[in-house]
Structure 1
Amino acid sequence: MGSHRNALVAAVRQELAEARGTARAVLAAAETARAEAQRRRRVVREAYSTCLAQLAEARDTARTDILRRYRTESAALASNAGTVAALCAPGAAGTPWRMWSPTEPERGARTGLLRIGTITLEHVTIPGLVPLLDGAHLSLDGDPAQVDGVISGVLLRALGTTRPGEVRLTVYDPERLGGTLAPFAPLGLSFVGPGGLGAMLDDLVEHICRVNESVLAGEHASLAALTAATTGPRPEPWRVVVLLADPDGAEELTPAQRAQLNRIVRTGVACGVHLIVRGIDLPAHPTVERIVVRDGAAVCDTAGDLTVRLDPPPPADRITAFCRSVAERLRAGPPPARLADLIPDKLWTECSAHELSAPVGDCTDGSLVEVLLGDDPPHALIGGPSGSGKTNLIYAWLGSMTARYGPDELALYLLDFKEGVSFARFTPGPRDPSWLPQVRLAGINVNGDREFGLAMLRHLGEELRARALAAKRHDATKLAELRVEDPAGHWPRIVAVIDEFQVLLAGRDAVAEEAVTLLEDLARRGRSQGIHLVLASQDVSGIEALWGRSGLIGQFTLRIALPKARRVLADTNLAAAVIPRFHAVVNADSGVAGANRIVRLPDAGDRSAWQGLQRRQWRQRPDGWAPPRLFDGDAVPRLPEAYRPAGRPAGEPTTVGSSPGAVLGERIDVAARPARLRLGRMPGRNLAVLGTRTDEACDILAAAALSLAAQGPAHFSVACLEPGAEHAAARLVAELPEADWYGAADLTDLFQVPPDGIPHYVLGYGLDSAGPEHRAALRTMLTHGPEQRTHVLGWWRSVARLRDDLGGPGARFDAIGGWVALDVHGAELGPLCPQPGGPVWYPRPRRALFFDRSVHRFPEVIIPYEVNSDHA
C-alpha cells in the first residue's frame, strides 16, 4: 500500500508540473500576442512619424545643400506625408473645421489619427495628427485655454468619426466644475467633482479587469483585435476620461491614486480606456502621447521636432448642436442594419453540410442576429399582416444566405401566391439579364394556379425520395454524412419559400388535400435530407388544413413574427403585438416566450442594392450554369418555334415507331413542358375542345395542327363552320404545308376522303354547327378513323352538343379519347371523366382542363399556347 501511495503522489506531482508548464506557455503566448498587437497599433503612427522625420531631415540637409534640391526633396516627401495623413485621418478625423461634418465609419473599419492643426515647412502644408482611440493616452501641457481648445477639438473629431454611443465621456474638472467642456453636456457625459478622483480611478481599474477577464478572456490582446476578428459591432464602447487638474500646478495625487493611474496608463488602451490629461503628470509609456502647447503652436511625440500650428477650437454652438443630434439618435436607438451589413466581404465561403446560418438583421445593441436552418430548427413559419414587411424580411434572408452559400451549397425554390412579382427580380428580365445562381425555380402571380404549387411540392417530393435512396445506398442517416460518403454527388441544401401559402391549402378539394400530404412528408423527412420549408402568410388563423394537423405545424419550430402577427408564436407570447414597425420576433423554440429575439430588419427591397449583390454572384456563377425557371401566372406562353413546321430542321426524319403527338398547351409544372395528346392507331384517338371561348379554342386547334405538321408528312383538312373562327382557320391553312379548306356545303366530301396511309387530321371549327345529315358520317369517322390514321380534332361549344353528335342522351363517349375543356364547369364534364360528379374545376381565362383517357387518372390544368396573336 505504501508503494502504491508513493506512486500516486509521484503521478500527481508530475501532472502538476505539466500543468504549470502549460500555464507558463499560455501566459507567454498571451504576452507575445499582446506585444504583437501593440506593435501593429504603432504601425500607422510610425508611418506618419517616419514621413515627418524624413521631412525634417530634408529640411536640415537643405540648409547645407543647394536650394533647388531641397525644394524638390521636401515637396516629394511632403506629398508622401500628405497622402499618409489623408489615409490616417479620413473624413471628420482630418477635415478642416470650415468643411467639417461627422462621418460614420463603415462596419469593421479601424480608427485613425485625429487632426489638431497643420505643419508648415516653407511652401508645404500637411495635417498635424495625433492618436487617441485604440492608440494612446494624451498628456497636454501649456496655456490652459489653448490646451482646452485642443481637447475640445480632439473630442469632437473622435465623436464625429464613431457611431452614437460608441464613446462614453467622463470629465474630472474640479476647478470649473464641468464648465470647461459644457458644450458636450447634451451627450449626458459624467462629470466628476472634487473628491471624486479616487473613486473614478478605482472604477476604471475594475472596468479594465472585467474586460480582460470576461471580454478578451486571453483570446485577444485588445478590444481592437477582437473587433477586427469578428463581424459584429465593438463589444465594449470606448471610455474617454478627461482629467483637468489645477492649471497652476500639478495636482498632488495620493499613492493609491497614483498607483491606479499608472495601472490605467499601462493597460487602458488595450481595453478601450483612454486618458486626456491636463495638469497631472503621466508616467512614461509607449501609449502616452505628449503634447506641449505654446503660443498657438504645439510639439508632440508623433510630429517629432516639427511644429504643429494649432487649428482654432471648434465653436461652442457647433459642438452643442452636434451633441444634441447625437443624443437624439441615442434616444431613438441605433439605426437598423443595412443590407450591405449582412453581406460578407467574400462571397460563397460557407459550407451547408450541417446547416444554413445567415443574419436577417440586428438587435438593439447593433449585433447581427443569425437565423439557422438545419436539423433543429428544420423549417420556418413567417407571419405578419399586410404591410408588416414579410417580403422585405424574405429579401434580407435570401440576400444574406446567397452571399454565404454558393449554388453548389444552396438551391432555392421560390413561390409567391399573392398578386405581384416579388421573386421575378431573381430571374433574367428585359431590364436586367442577370439572375441569382442559387434560384432553381421562381413562381409569381400564381394565386390562380394552385396546381403550380402542387407541382413544386411533387418535385421536392421526388428529390426527397432520390436523396433517401442515395443515403440508403451509402448507409448515411443525414445530409452531412451523405456528402462525406458521396463526394461526387450534387447534394446542396434546398430551401423552398412559399409566400401566402394559405392560398395553396384553401378549401377542401383534391389540390389542398394532396398539398397538405406532401407538405407533411417534406416537413417530417426533409430535415435529414437537407430540404427546408419556409412558409409565409398574412394570417394563418383560418387555415384548417394546416392547423388541423398538429404533427405538421409542430415541425416548424422556427417562428418569425412581424408586428401584429397572429398565432405564429405561442398563444401566451404577445411580443409581436408590441414590437414597432421594421422589427420582427425570431423564435427558434416553436414560439415559446422565453426564446424571443427582437430583430431590426434592414431595408432589403431597394432594387439598386439588390442588383449590385445579384450581379456579383451572377458574374461568379460556374461556367454553363443554367438560369432558373420562371413561371408567371399572368404570362401567356407562345407556341415554341420547334413545334411549328418551319421550326423542324430540314431533312430531319420522323421518329419511327412512336405515335405523333398533338401539342395542346403548356403544362403547369416545374419544367416548361408541353401537354401532348398521342394520336396512334387505337380507338378513340380523337380530340374534343369544349367551350365557348373562340380565341382559345382556335389556339388549341392551331397548336395541335402545327405541332403535328412539324413531326412529318401529314394531310390536313380544315372545316370551319363558325364565322367567328374563319380568320384563325385561314391563318392555319396558310401556315400548314398541305391543307384543304372545307365549308358547310363541303362536309359530305370531307367525310368521304379515302385513307392513303399518311396521317390525316380533320380540324373542325364549330363542328356542332354541322347539320343532322352529317352526324352519322362524323360518328363513323370518329369511331373507325383512328385505325386508318384519320383523326378528328374538333371544337364543340358544349358537352350537350357533343353528345348530340355522338348519338343523343344515351350516347357513349368512347370515340373521344382526349378532351380539353375551357369555360365548361366540372359538373358538366361528369360523363367524360372517371371522377364521380365530374372534376373540381373552376374555369378561368387562359386555362383549360385536359384529359387523355389513356394517360390520366384525373384531368390536369394546362395553359393553351398563344398561336394566332400578331404580337411576339
Structure 2
Amino acid sequence: MGSHRNALVAAVRQELAEARGAARAVLAEAETARGEAQERRRLVRDAYSMCLHQLAEARDAARRDVERRFQFESSRLAGNVRHLAALNATGAAGLPWRMWAPSEPEPGTRPGLLRIGTLTLDDTAAVPALVPFLDAAHLVFSGPADDADAVITGLLLRALGTTRPGDMQLTVYDPEHLGGTLASFAPLGISFVGPGGLGAALDELVEHICRVNETVLAGEHQSLADLTAATTTGPRAEPWRVIVLLADAASAQELTSAQRAQLDRIARTGVSCGVHLVVRGLELPEHASVRRLRVSDQTATCDLTGDLEIRLDPPPPADRVTAFCRATAERLRAGPPPARLSDLEPREFWAESSAHGLVAPIGDSTDGTLIDVPLGDDPPHALIGGPSGSGKTNLLYAWLAALSTRYGPEELALYLLDFKEGVSFARFVPGPRDPGWLPQVRLAGINVNGDREFGLAMLRHLGEELRTRAQAAKRVDASKLAELRAEDPTGHWPRIVAVIDEFQVLLSGRDAVADEAVTLLEDLARRGRSQGIHLILASQDVSGIEALWGRSGLIGQFTLRIALPKARRILADDNLAAAVIPRHHAVVNTQSGTSGANQIVRLPDAGDRLVWRSLQRRLWRDRPDGCEEPRLFDGDAVPKLPETCRPAGPVPTAETPVGSSPGAVLGERIDVAARPARLRLGRMPGRNLAVLGTRTDEACDVLAAAALSLAAQGPAHFSIVCLDTDAARAAARLIAELPSADWCTALPPLSDGSVPHYVIGYALDAATDPMMRTLLDDGPEQRMHVLGWWRSVARLRDSLGGPGARLDPIGAWVALDVQGADLAPLYPQPGGPAWYPRTRRALFFDRSVHRTPEVIVPYEVNSDHA
C-alpha cells in the first residue's frame, strides 16, 4: 500500500516536474518570442524613423530645389524684364536721375516707355517700372497731389529729354497754384491756362485734332506715329501736344457738360494725332489709350502692373529741370542742329530705281527738312563752286553717301576724278588697310593734277558708253534711258555719274588735251542726259577757265548749280546768295543760278573717316555677286610690270610657236583699263625702238620691260650690250632673268632669222661700231630688232651718220626727259609734239600706229630703286 502510494507520489512528482519543465520551455519560448517581437518593433521603429528622416530630408531638398529654381527663374525673369526695359526705355527715358542726361532719338524711331520707379518681383529682384506715354497713352493720376505732381514732373522731364527740341509742346492748367507747380519748365515757353481758360484750350485741341486728321494724315496713315515712321527724313509733321491738367476738387466740379464732352473726345482721338493728356484730379472715360496710376507715399500701382507695388523714383532736382529747360530753349532759339551723315540714309538701302533719275539729299534746311537734289532729264548735270576750304569735298562726300545708300550697283555707276593734289576719292577703293570699296565706284583717279591725259581717257570711255547706249536705244526705238530699260529689261543700264573735282585743270591751257576734253564734255553734256550719263563738275573758281570762253552751249547744260560760301560765277551775276551764307552751308539752285530759285542747305559733317568706313563696309558686304573691284589710277604710284609679262615655266625652244609680230611692253597706258603699251616688232623696216633721255633708271626699266615681255611670248635670243657703268647693274639683273641671253661688248652681227633676236642696248650713243646702221636698216627683215637707249636725239642722229642722216630706221621711240621741240626730227609734223617732261612719265610714238604720241607710265622692273 505504502509502496503503491510512493509510486503514485513519484509519478505525480514526475509529471509535475515534466509540467514545470514544459512550462519553463513555454515561458522560455514566450520570452524568446517577446524578445523577437520587441526586436521587430525596434527594427520597425528604426525603419519608420529612418523613413521619416529621409522623407524630411527629401522634403527639405525638394523645398531647397524649388527655392533655387524659383530664385533662378525669378532672376532670369528679372534679367529678361530688365533687358526689355533697356530696349524700350533707352537713354534719358530709363536712366536713374544720378546718371540722367538728355538723348535725342534716331530719325523715324518711335518713342519708348518712360521710367517712374522700380518694380519689386521678390526680395532680391527689382526691375524698372515703365509706363507708356508719347504716341501711346493718356495718363491719369490719383492720390495725394504732391506725390502725383512729383511723378508728373519726372515724366515730363524724361519725355522732353528723349525728343528733339521743339518736338513736344507743353500746356499746363493749374488753377490751384496758377502754374507754380511746373514753373521749372517755364524757360521752354510753355502755355499756362488760367482758371477760366480751360474751355477755350479744350476747344482749340479738338480743332487741332480735326486739322491733323484732315490735312496731315488725310486718310493715308492711321496716326502721326505711322506717318513719322514712314518718312524717316526731316522733322515730325506735327509736334506732340501735351496738356497737363492739375485740377482740384472745386475745379473738377466746375467742368460744364460741354467741357466734359470735349475732354472725352480728346481722350478717344488725341493719341493718334499726337495729343496727350496728363491728368490729376479729373476722371477720363474708359478707353484703351487711358492708363491710370494711383500714387501714395512714394509708392504707386498701375493698371498695367496690377497689384504689384511700384517704388517711385524721387523727383528730379528742380535746378536740373530748370537747367535742362534753359539749355533746350537756347537750342530752340539757335534752330535745330544740322543733319548728320546718317540722317541722309534711307530706311532701306538700295531700294530705289534710277530709271527715271536720281534723287538724294545733301543736307537739311534750317527747319530740319532734308533737301533733295535731283539728277535726271532736268536737271541733267551739276556745277559746284566754292573757294578753297569752303567744303567742296565734304559736300561731295555727303552727296555720294546719299546716292550710294539709295541706289545699288545695278542702278548707279560712279566715276570719280580728283585733280587736286590729294587723295579725296582714295577712301572709295581698296587700300592697304581696308580691302573694301564702294560697290558703285567703277573708276577713281587721285593725284592726277599732272596727268590730264587720264581725265581725257575717262571722258573718251564715257563717250564710248554714250555711243553704245545710243545704238541700243535706236534698236528698240527708245529716246531716253527709262524707255531703253523698259524695252530691254535684261540689259545692264545703270545711271552714270562722273564727278570731276577741280575740273579746270583738265581744261587749262590751249593744247590738244584741252581742246579734245572740251569737245567730249560738250557732247556728254548735250546728249548724256537722255542716256543716263550725268556730269558733276567742281571747281574753286570758274572765272579763269579759258577753255570755256565762248562755250555757252556747254555751261548752259549745267542747270543744277551748287554754290558754297563766297563762290564766284556759279550763280547768276545778280544772285548774291553765296556771298552771305555762313560756313557749312550751300545754295542749291536748279534753274541755272537765277535769283528766286535758291534753296539754302546746311551740310552735315561727312568727312569722318570712321563713319564713312563703317558705312562703306556695310555696303561692300552687301555687294552683289560679280561686282568688280574699281580701277584706281594714282598719279603718284609707279606700276609694277605684270607677272604675265615675265617669262615663266620651261625655257622656250625653237619648236615653240611665236607670233609674227611679238609685242614689246614698254609701260602702262594712261587709260581706264590700265592696258600695257605695246610695240609690235614685225619684219617691216623701222621695227626698232629708241629710248631717249638721261634718266637712267627709267630707261633701264623700259628696256627691261620690253625684253622680259618678249621673252614671255616664245623662243627668242637676246644680246645685251651695256656701254654705261651706271646701267650695268640693271643689265646684269635682266640677263639673270632672261632664258636665253648673251652679254656682248659690241653689237652682234646679223642673225639668220630662225628665232627672233633682240639687241638690248644700254647707252648706244657711246657705240662706234659700223654695224649700227646695218642692224637698224636690215635687222627687222631678218627678225633682228634693236631696242636701244640713247641719251639725246642728237646722239641718236650721230649714231646713224651725223646731222644729215635719215632717222627712218627708228620706227618707234620713247622719250623721257626730252623736250618736245628736240623730238622734231623724229616727228612727222613740224615743230615736234607738245611735250613737257615730267618724272616717271614718257612719250611713246610708233609711226605705224600713232597719229599723235601717247603718254605712258614706265613700269618699275629691275632698276636700282626697285
Q: TM-score, normalised by structure 2?
A: 0.88
Shift of the alpha carbon at 1:679? 1.1
Secondary structure of the residue that 2:252 maps to in structure 1?
coil
Q: What is the total number of aligned residue pairs between the two structures? A: 799
Which of residues 242, 249, 257 is equivalent to 2:244? 242
Q: Which residue of 2 aligns with 1:195?
A: 196
| Alpha carbons 2:729, 2:864 under 8 Å: kept | no
**Is the 2:117–2:311 contact (alpha carbons within 8 Å) kept by the matching residues of 1?**
yes
Deviations 1:590-636 (A, max 9, x none): 22232222222222222222222222222222334321111110011
Q: Map 1:36-435 onto structure 2 (within 5 A).
A: 81-123=81-123, 124-232=125-233, 233-246=235-248, 250=252, 252-435=254-437
SS of alignment partner, residue 250 of structure 1: helix
1:710-734 per-residue CA deviation (whole Å, 9 max, x = no partner) reads: 2222222222222322222222223
Deviation at 1:855, TM superposition (A): 0.1
Rg (Cα) greater in structure: 2
Among 564, 573, 576, which residue is 2:575 paired with? 573
Residue in 2 that maps onto 1:769: 766
Contact 1:547–1:553 (8 Å) recurs in 2 = no
Which residue of 835, 842, 845 corresponds with 1:848? 842
Deviation at 1:249, TM superposition (A): 5.3
| Structure 2 CA distance for aligned equivalents of residues 69 and 754 of structure 1 | 97
Q: Distance in 2 between matches of 1:777 and 1:711?
A: 27
Q: Return closer, same or farther for 1:547/1:324 CA change in 2, 3 Å cut-off.
A: farther
- 1:416–1:500 Cα contact (<8 Å) kept: yes
Task: Report Cα offsets for 1:325-363 as digits up to 9, x if no partner.
Answer: 222322333222222222234332222222122222222
Distance 1:182 1:648, change over 3 A: farther
Asked if structure 1 preserves the Cα contact closer than 8 Å seen for 2:185 and 2:322, the reply is yes
Q: Provide closer, same or farther for how the CA distance between residues 810 and 72 of structure 1 changes in structure 2, counting only shifts above 3 A.
A: closer
Distance 1:622 1:77 in 2: 42
Structure 1 contact 709–737 (Cα < 8 Å) conserved: yes
1:23 is aligned to none
Q: Which residue of structure 1 lines up, in the alignment, with residue 663 of structure 2?
A: 661
The one of 454, 457, 465 aligned to 2:456 = 454
What is the aligned partner in structure 2 of residue 857 from structure 1?
851
CA distance in 2 between partners of 1:81 and 1:753 (Å): 93
SS of alignment partner, residue 780 of structure 1: helix
- Give the deviation of 1:80 after TM superposition: 5.5
The corresponding residue for 1:540 is 542
> After superposition, where does 1:809-820 map in structure 2 within 5 Å?
809-820=803-814
User: Which residue number corresponds to residue 43 of structure 1?
Assistant: none
Residue in 2 aligned with 1:499? 501
Q: Tell me, yes or no, if the aligned pair for 1:417 and 1:447 is still in contact at 8 Å.
A: yes
Is 2:751–2:757's contact at 8 Å kept on the other side of the alignment?
no
How far apart are residue 81 of structure 1 and its match?
4.8
Q: 1:402 to 1:866 in 2, by over 3 A?
A: same
Q: Deviations over 1:774-796 (max 9, x none)?
A: 3x532222122211222121222
CA distance in 1, matches of 2:754, 2:227: 84
Structure-2 separation of matches of 1:579 and 1:424: 30
Note if 1:705 corresponds to 2:707. Answer: yes
| Structure 2 residue 817 is the aligned partner of structure 1 residue 823 | yes
Q: Distance in 2 between matches of 1:806 and 1:274?
A: 98
Q: For each residue in 1:659-692, what CA deviation from the matched residue of structure 2 results, as whole angstroms up to 9, or x when unmatched? A: 0111111110111111111111111111111111
Task: Give 1:657 shift.
Answer: 4.7
Which secondary structure does the structure 2 equivalent of 1:541 belong to?
helix
* More displaced stretch, 437-446 vs 167-176: 167-176
Q: Which moved more, 1:229-238 or 1:299-308?
A: 299-308
Shift of 1:79: 5.7
Q: How does 1:457-606 map to 2 (within 5 A)?
A: 457-606=459-608
| Mean Cα deviation higher: 578-587 or 472-481 | 578-587
The whole-number CA distance in structure 2 between the counterparts of 1:708 and 1:656 is 10
1:445 corresponds to: 447
Confirm whether residue 781 of structure 1 aligns to residue 751 of structure 2: no
Cα pair 1:849 1:860 within 8 Å, conserved: yes
The CA deviation at 1:870 is 6.0
| Between 648-657 and 144-153, the greater mean CA deviation after superposition | 648-657
- Conservation of the 8 A alpha-carbon contact between 1:502 and 1:543: yes
Task: Show CA shifts across 1:186-209 (max 9, x none).
Answer: 222222334333333333233222
Q: Which runs of 5+ in 2 are unaligned?
A: 1-65
Compare 812-821 and 622-631 and name the one that shifted more: 622-631
Contact 1:129 1:302 in 2 (8 A): no
Amino acid at match of 1:217: A
Of stretches 574-583 and 532-541 in structure 1, the one that deviates more from structure 2 is 574-583
Alpha-carbon spacing, 1:870–1:819, altered in 2? closer, same or farther (3 Å): closer
Q: Is the 8 A contact 1:721 1:767 kept in 2?
A: yes
Secondary structure at the aligned position of 1:92 is classed as helix
Q: Deviations over 1:38-96 (max 9, x none)?
A: xxxxxxxxxxxxxxxxxxxxxxxxxxxx9999878876766665554444333322222
CA change 1:249–1:78 in 2 (3 A) is farther
> Partner amino acid for 2:209?
I
Counterpart Cα distance in 2 of 1:863 and 1:805: 27
Q: Deviations over 1:829-862 (max 9, x none)?
A: 1221123321111100000111000000000000
Tell me how far 1:538 sits from its aligned partner: 1.5
Alignment CA distance shift 1:781-1:87 (3 Å): closer
Does structure 1 conserve the Cα–Cα contact (< 8 Å) formed by 2:653 and 2:715? no
| Aligned equivalent of 1:836, options 815, 823, 830 | 830
The match for 2:637 is: 635
**Contact conserved, 1:450 with 1:504, CA < 8 A, in 2?**
yes
- The answer to whether the 8 A contact 1:379-1:533 is kept is yes
| 8 Å Cα contact 2:264-2:284 kept in structure 1 | yes
Paired residue secondary structure (1:176)? coil
- Asked if structure 1 preserves the Cα contact closer than 8 Å seen for 2:719 and 2:748, the reply is no
Contact preservation (8 Å) 2:362, 2:398: yes
Could you say if the C-alpha distance between residues 720 and 295 of structure 1 is closer, same or farther in structure 2, counting changes exceeding 3 Å? closer
Task: Choose the corresponding residue for 1:619, options 597, 603, 621.
Answer: 621
CA shift in 2, pair 1:108/1:654, >3 Å = farther
Residue identity opposite 1:806 in structure 2? L
3-state SS of paired residue (1:862): strand
In structure 2, do the counterparts of structure 1 residues 739 and 128 end up closer, same or farther at CA, with 3 Å as the change threshold?
Answer: closer
Q: Is the 8 A contact 2:697 2:864 kept in 1?
A: no
- The amino acid that maps onto 1:790 is M
Superposed, 1:783-802 pairs within 5 Å as: 783-802=777-796
Instruction: Call closer, same or farther: CA 1:285–1:635 in 2, change over 3 Å.
Output: same
Q: Is the 8 A contact 1:384 1:562 kept in 2?
A: yes
What is the DSSP-based 3-state SS (H/G/I as helix, E as strand, rest coil) of the residue aligned with 1:526? helix
- What is the TM-score when the length of structure 1 is the normalising length? 0.87
* RMSD after superposition: 2.4
Q: For the Cα contact (< 8 Å) 1:648–1:710, is it kept in 2?
A: no
In structure 2, what residue type is equivalent to 1:271?
C
Distance across 2 between alignment mates of 1:510 and 1:557: 28
Does the 8 Å CA contact 2:692/2:792 hold for their aligned counterparts? yes
Shift of the alpha carbon at 1:647? 6.8
CA distance in 1, matches of 2:577, 2:820: 46
In structure 1, how many angstroms separate the alpha carbons of the residues matched to 2:651 and 2:379? 53
Is the 8 Å Cα contact of residues 641 and 647 (structure 1) preserved in structure 2?
A: no
